[in-house]
């Protein structure tokens, strides 16, 4: 057996300082997309936890019900904040949530939000040995969301950003054309797939309430400041070439009152700037591709 480390061939290295200037509609410096993760969790499996004390129990009622707050209360407070400040959302949606939380689907449709695939449940990662099983999984997620929301997803964010070596190929084969799984840039870029196309759209593990609050123990106030600070730097950098800012949140965290207060302040700060494009994932992907195509036309 070969001991040579395996490398991927999904994209070539590209230094952001060497790329053509990227522009956004209306001369915006920053395209901001907000990604609420709407998730369902199995009752008898461990998952994202507020406390480790009961994680060994089955069922873990404490942590399960803490997460369930997001679907019952937190989502709706978060949605009100986004609507109040004019932010559309691109929801990373577990397909199981379509059946479990129809009121959330109804509210997202009222607001005109976009939906992207996010697996079936966040209790299960993308970890398939069999290609046909993974292909069926992708199709199940996309078709279930399409039937519930009226629109088959174009975007994809795996639970915990998990992939097999063929996930991107199977997603592109199924019609998905952008993903947030690769958190390595501030601008979109095309990835190599066996058929179709796949754009890497900047997502974040920094401006993301789970790692910020649960792993790094940031308060709601500190997370709000992180959002503002990140935006301010990207706004300055975007004067030279456009940037993408992802704000990644989970209703069972950001929807609590003591965090929502500072989340709203951060969104108000962003919305107060003129050269900002508040967009969905598909809008960013389409504009980027159109601009690149225009640049490449002889």
Three-state secondary structure readout of 33-100 = EEEEEECCCCCCCCCCCCCCCCCCCCCCHHHHHHHHHHHHHHHHHHHHHHHHCCCCEEEEECCHHHHH
Mean pLDDT over all residues of the chain? 96
pLDDT at 1 over 90: no
Residue 8 lies in a domain: no
Strand, coil or helix: 20: coil
Give residue 3's pLDDT: 61
Quote the number of domains for the chain: 1
Average pLDDT over residues 68-93: 98
Cα 20 to Cα 4, 237, 286, 289, distances in angstroms: 35, 14, 17, 13
Residue 213 lies in a domain: yes
What count of other Cβ atoms lies within 10 Å of the Cβ of residue 226?
A: 20
**Which of 64-78, 129-143, 150-164, 283-297 is predicted with the least confidence, judged by mean pLDDT?**
283-297
Task: Report percent pLDDT > 90 for the chain.
Answer: 90
The secondary structure of the chain in percent helix, strand, coil, rounded to multiples of 5, reads 45, 15, 40
Q: Are 175 and 153 in contact (CB under 8 A)?
A: no
C-alpha count within 13 angstroms, C-beta hemisphere, residue 115: 31
Give residue 67's pLDDT: 96
Average pLDDT over residues 198-223: 98
Rg (CA), the chain: 19
Average pLDDT over residues 25-32: 98
Residue 163 lies in a domain: yes
pTM score above 0.75 = yes
Report the CATH number at residue 245.
Answer: 3.20.20.370
Which domain covers residue 237, as residue numbers?
A: 22-296
Give residue 83's pLDDT: 98
C-alpha count within 13 angstroms, C-beta hemisphere, residue 51: 9
Residue 7 lies in a domain: no
295: pLDDT confidence band, cut at 50, 70 and 90?
Answer: confident
Average pLDDT over residues 158-181: 97
Q: Which H/E stretch holds residue 222?
A: helix 220-237
* Integer Cα distance of 197 and 161 in angstroms: 19
Structure tokens at 252: 């069972």
14: pLDDT confidence band, cut at 50, 70 and 90?
Answer: very high
Measured in whole angstroms, the distance separating CA 13 from the mean position of its chain's CA atoms is 23
Would you mind telling me the total number of residues written for the chain in this entry?
298
Residue 1 lies in a domain: no
Structure tokens at 82: 């986004």
pLDDT at 71 over 60: yes
Give residue 49's pLDDT: 87
Give residue 32's pLDDT: 99
- State pLDDT tens for residues 249-276: 999 999 999 999 999 999 999 999 999 9
Residue 265 lies in a domain: yes
Residue 177 lies in a domain: yes
Average pLDDT over residues 107-118: 98
Q: 276 forms bridges with which residues in the sheet?
A: 30
Average pLDDT over residues 114-120: 98
Give residue 4's pLDDT: 67
* Integer Cα distance of 219 and 262 in angstroms: 10
Residue 16 lies in a domain: no
């Amino acid at each position: 057996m070969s001991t040579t480390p395996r490398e991927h061939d999904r994209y070539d290295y590209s230094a952001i300082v060497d790329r053509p200037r990227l522009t956004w509609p209306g001369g915006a410096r920053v395209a901001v997309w907000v990604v609420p993760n709407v998730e369902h969790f199995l009752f008898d499996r461990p998952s994202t936890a507020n406390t480790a004390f009961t994680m060994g129990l089955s069922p873990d009622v404490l942590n399960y019900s803490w997460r369930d707050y997001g679907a019952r209360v937190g989502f709706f407070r978060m949605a009100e904040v986004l609507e109040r400040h004019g932010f559309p959302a691109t929801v990373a949606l577990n397909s199981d949530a379509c059946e479990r939380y129809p009121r959330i689907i109804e509210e997202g449709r009222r607001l005109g939000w976009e939906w992207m695939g996010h697996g079936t449940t966040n209790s299960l990662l993308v970890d398939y040995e069999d290609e046909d099983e993974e292909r069926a999984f992708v199709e199940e997620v996309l078709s279930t969301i399409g039937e519930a929301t009226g629109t088959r997803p174009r975007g994809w964010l795996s639970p915990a950003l998990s992939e097999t070596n063929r996930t991107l190929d199977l997603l592109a084969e199924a019609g998905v054309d952008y993903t947030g799984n690769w958190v390595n840039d501030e601008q979109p870029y095309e990835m190599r797939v066996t058929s179709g196309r796949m754009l890497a759209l900047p997502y974040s593990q920094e401006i993301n309430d789970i790692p910020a609050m649960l792993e790094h123990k940031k308060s709601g106030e500190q997370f709000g400041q992180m959002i503002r600070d990140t935006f301010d730097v990207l706004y300055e950098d975007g004067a030279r070439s456009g940037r993408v800012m992802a704000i990644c949140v989970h209703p069972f965290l950001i929807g609590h009152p003591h965090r929502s207060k500072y989340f709203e302040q951060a969104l108000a700060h962003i919305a107060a700037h003129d050269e900002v494009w508040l967009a969905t994932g598909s809008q960013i992907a389409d504009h980027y591709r159109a601009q690149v195509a225009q640049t490449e036309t002889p």
